Amino acid sequence: MGENKQWYIVCYDITDAKRWKKVHKHLHGYGKPLQYSIFRCRVTTRQLEKLRWELESILTKEDK
């Protein structure tokens, strides 16, 4: 039996357009956009941790 999925809201503020587009495209694999920088994702705990790890490799310290 698989893990239970939960709903999460992912919000971000990125000033660099190239990085913003990369994060936006990446998040499409995990959920649906509610606004330009807000996604609603239904994922397992394991998928959430994977997403965090993947985003850390894209984002910089100036991003929020």
Can you tell me the distance from the alpha carbon of 59 to that of 32, in angstroms, rounded to the nearest whole number?
A: 20
At residue 1, the pLDDT reads: 58
Please list the pLDDT of the chain residue by residue as tens digits (64 residues): 578 999 999 999 998 999 999 999 999 999 999 998 999 999 999 999 999 999 999 998 888 8
At residue 41, the pLDDT reads: 96
Q: Are 2 and 44 in contact (CB under 8 A)?
A: yes
At residue 55, the pLDDT reads: 93
Q: Are 61 and 20 in contact (CB under 8 A)?
A: no
